[in-house]
Chain A
Amino acid sequence: MAVLPAAADAVTVRPRRTPRTRISLGRSLAWLFMLGSLLVTLFPFYWMLRTALSNTRALASSSESMLPADFTLGAFERVLGLATTAEAIAQGGSGASVNFWLYLKNSLIVATTTTVGQVFFCAMAAYAFARLTWPGRDQLFFAFITALMIPPIFTTLPNFVLIRDLGLLDTYLGIVLPGLLMTPFSVFFLRQFFLGIPREIEEAAMIDGAGRFRVFLTIILPMSAAPVSTLALLTYITSWNDYFWPLLVGKAESVRVLTVALGIFRSQTPQGSPDWAGLMAATLIAALPILVLYAFLGRRIVNSIGFSGIK
C-alpha cells in the first residue's frame, strides 16, 4: 500500500518525463532483435526443405537461389529406397542402398517401447514415493535423485559391457533396456504431481474395496493424465533424438535408428561431392515425426518447460 501514494506522486511531479519516442525506438529495436532471432531460427528448416527438393547435380550452379534447384522428389525416393541405382546416381546420389523406411520403423519401435515402459514404471515408483508410507522410502528417493547428477558417460561404458555380456548387442532390447525401467528425472517429475492429488479420493476407493494397484490404475493415472502425457511426450522426443547409446549398441542395419543411420549416411557420402539433397531429405525424415507431434501438441511442450524446469 505504501507504494501507491509515492507512485501517484511521481506522476504528478514529473508528467513531462513520459518518454514516448524513446520507448518506441527501444521497442522497435527489441522487435527487430526478436524477428531476427525468429528468422535465424526458422531459416535452416526452410533450407533443409529447399535442398531436399533439389537435384544434387544442380545445387552447385544455383547455390544462391532461394528456391529448389531443378525441383524433384528424387532425393526422397532415393533415401527411402524407391529409386533405382541408375536414377539415384543420375541425381547425384552415391548409389549405395539406403532404406530410411526401415530406420524410421526402428526409431518408432525404440522410442515407443522406451516411452511406454519408462513412463509406466516410473509412475508406479512415483506413486509409492508420493503416497505410501514405508521404511526406507526417503532414503531410496534421495538415492534416485543423486543419480540425476551422474553424467551419462560414466555409466555408458560399463552398461555397454553389460549389454554385450548379455548378448544383446544389435537387438532392440539392448537399445531400449537402460531407459526402459526408469530415469531419475521421470520419477522425480511424476512424484511432484502425485503429491498434489487429494488423499480423500483414494481413501474412498479403498473403503470400497479397491486394492492399491486398482487405485493406481483407475484413479491416480487418469487424474494425472496431463503431467503423465507431458512426460511421455518429453521421453518420446529424448528417445527419438538419442544418438550416443544406439550408436554403441545398435549399429547393425536391422536395428539401426534414424540418428545412427544419418551419421552413417553422412560418413558414406563421397568427400568431393556429397549427396546434399539426399542428406537433407534424410534429415527431414528424421525430424518430421517430431515436428508433426510438435505441431499438434506444441502448447503442451512449451508449457511443460515452464513448470518442469529441467529436461
Chain B
Amino acid sequence: MSTTTKSPATRPPAAPPPRRRRSSLASSWSGSDLRPALLFVAPATIGFLVFYVWPAIRGTYYSFTDFKVLSAPNWVGTENYQRLVEDELVWNAFGVTLQYVVINIGAQTVISLGLAVLMHRLTRSMMIRGALLMPYLVANVVVALAWFWMLDYQIGIVNVLLDTVGIDRVAFFGDSAWAIPTIAMINVWRHMGYTALLIFAGLQTIPPHLYEAAALDGSGEVRSFFKITMPLLRPVLAMVLVITVTGSFQIFDTVAVTTAGGPVNATRVVYYYIFELAFSRFEFGYASAISVVLFLVLASVAFAQIKLLRAGESDLS
C-alpha cells in the first residue's frame, strides 16, 4: 500500500505513466488482459502451430501425394489409400500390432491390477512402489537390450535356467511364433509397475469405510474385490486402458533394436513399417497414408473404449 500512495506524491500528478498503470490495473479486474496474455502464450502457441497443427495438415496432404522427400510432391488422389488396401504387408503390420496389443494389454492389466490391489490392501511401503516403478524410468532401448541379452538362445540366463530345469531352449526372438509374445512381455515388464501405480491412485479414491463395513458384514477379501473394488474402479480402469492401449499400438523402440521386423515379417509392426517406408524407401506419401489410417484406428479404438466402459461416469455417488 505504501508504494502506491508514495509514487503519485513524488511525481507530478498529471504525468502519464502512473495513469497508464492505473488504467491497465483496472482493466485486469474488469475484463481483458489481452496484451500480456498474448505475450505469455506466444512461445507455446508458435510451438503448437509449427510442430502440431501445421504437420498434421501437411501429413494429411502428403497422404494424397507421391512425395518422395527428394522431389516435390505431386497430387495423386486416393492412390495411396487404394494401394494400402491391397498391400499385404499393411494387413500383416496391423495384424501383428493387434496381436502385440492384445497380449501386452491383457497381461499387463491383470498383473497391474493385482499389484495395485496388493499395494492397497497389503502395504504402504514407498520402497516397494519405488522399486516396481524402476523399469518404467529406463529407456525402451535399454530395456530391450537387457532382455535381448537375458533371452539369448545360447548363453542368456533365461535359456540357461530353462535348460537346467529340463525344458527345451526357446529362440525367443528368432522363432516367428515367439517373437511378438516375447516383445509384448518385455514391455509388460517395463510398464506393469507404472500401470499398477495409476490403478493404485484410483483405488485410493474408494472410501475405506466401504471395506470396513463389508468386512464387518462378513465379506472376505475376494468378495470385496468383486463387489466393491471392481465396480468403483471402473472409470479409472477405463481411462488407464485408453492410455495404455493407445500407447501400446505405437510399439517401435523394442522392435527396432531387437528383431528389426523379423524373422521374415513376424514383428513388422505398423510403426516400424511406416518407419521403413519413409526412411529406407523414401515413400513419404505412402507412409503418410498409413499413419493417417493408424490415427483413425487409434481414435476409433479410444472412442469405443470410452463408450463401452462408460469412462466418464462413476458409480460412486
Contacts and interface: CB of A to CB of B under 8 A. Distances in A.
Interface string A121-164: 11011011100111101001001100101111111111111101
Nearest to A234: B137
B40 A127 contact: yes
B256 A243 contact: yes
A124 B138 contact: no
A133 B33 CA distance: 6
A47 B45 CA distance: 46
A53 to B, nearest CB: 14
A208 B21 CA distance: 11
Contacts of B197: 302, 305-306
B225 to A, nearest CB: 11
Interface stretch (A73-81, A83-91, A209-217): A209-217
Given A60-B154, A63-B160, A137-B37, A37 B115 contact: yes
B206 interface: no
Nearest to A120: B43
B85 interface: no
B131 to A, nearest CB: 6
Task: Please tell me the size bucket of the interface on B.
Answer: 35 or more
B34 A135 contact: yes
A31 B37 CA distance: 54
A180 interface: yes
Most chain B CB neighbours (cut-off 10 Å) among A155, A206, A298: A155
Contacts of B41: 124-125, 128-129, 140
Contacts of B220: 19, 22
A31 to B, nearest CB: 7
Interface stretch (B90-98, B176-184, B226-234, B283-291): B283-291
B271 to A, nearest CB: 6
Contact of B134 (A41, A63, A143, A262): A41
A225 interface: no
Main secondary structure of the interface of A (DSSP, over half): helix
Contact of B150 (A47, A134, A263, A307): A47
Contacts of A47: 146, 149-150, 157
B139 A286 contact: yes
Contacts of A42: 131, 134
A274 to B, nearest CB: 8
A161 B200 CA distance: 42
Interface residues of A, number: 108
B145 interface: yes
A150 B291 CA distance: 11
Nearest to B57: A158
Interface in B55-96: 55-56, 58-59, 62, 69
Contact of B295 (A150, A211, A263, A301): A150
B3 interface: yes
B40 A212 contact: yes
Dominant secondary structure of chain B at its interface with chain A = helix
A121 B123 CA distance: 40
Interface in B254-313: 256-257, 271, 274-275, 278-279, 284, 287-288, 291-292, 294-295, 298-299, 302
A182 B189 contact: no
B131 A38 contact: yes
Contacts of A153: 250, 271, 274, 291, 294-295
Contacts of B131: 38, 41-42
A167 interface: no
Given A41-B189, A207-B25, A181 B51 contact: yes
Contacts of A227: none
Given A30-B118, A153-B274, A263-B141, A212 B36 contact: yes
A59 interface: yes
Contact of A149 (B69, B135, B216, B299): B299
Contacts of B302: 149
Contacts of A19: 220
Contacts of B148: 266
A157 B291 CA distance: 9
B59 A158 contact: yes
A187 interface: yes
Contact of A280 (B3, B111, B146): B146
Given A155-B55, A283-B142, A60 B155 contact: yes
Nearest to A6: B217
B129 A294 contact: no
A299 B133 CA distance: 11
B4 interface: yes
A151 B212 CA distance: 43
A182 to B, nearest CB: 4
Residue with the highest number of chain A CB atoms closer than 10 Å, among B21, B126, B138: B138
A276 interface: yes
A101 interface: no
A158 B54 contact: yes
B132 interface: yes
Interface of B: 1, 3-4, 7, 21, 25, 28, 31-34, 36-41, 43-48, 50-56, 58-59, 62, 69, 111, 114-115, 118, 121-123, 126, 128-135, 137-143, 145-150, 152, 154-157, 160-161, 164, 189, 192-194, 197-198, 200-201, 204, 209, 212-213, 216-218, 220-221, 239, 243, 246, 249-250, 252-253, 256-257, 271, 274-275, 278-279, 284, 287-288, 291-292, 294-295, 298-299, 302
10 contacts: A26-B221, A38-B132, A63-B160, A125-B43, A140-B45, A151-B246, A153-B295, A157-B55, A157-B59, A206-B25
Q: Which 10 A-B pairs have the closest CB atoms?
A: A181-B47, A125-B44, A158-B55, A241-B139, A128-B40, A7-B216, A182-B44, A132-B33, A63-B155, A158-B58
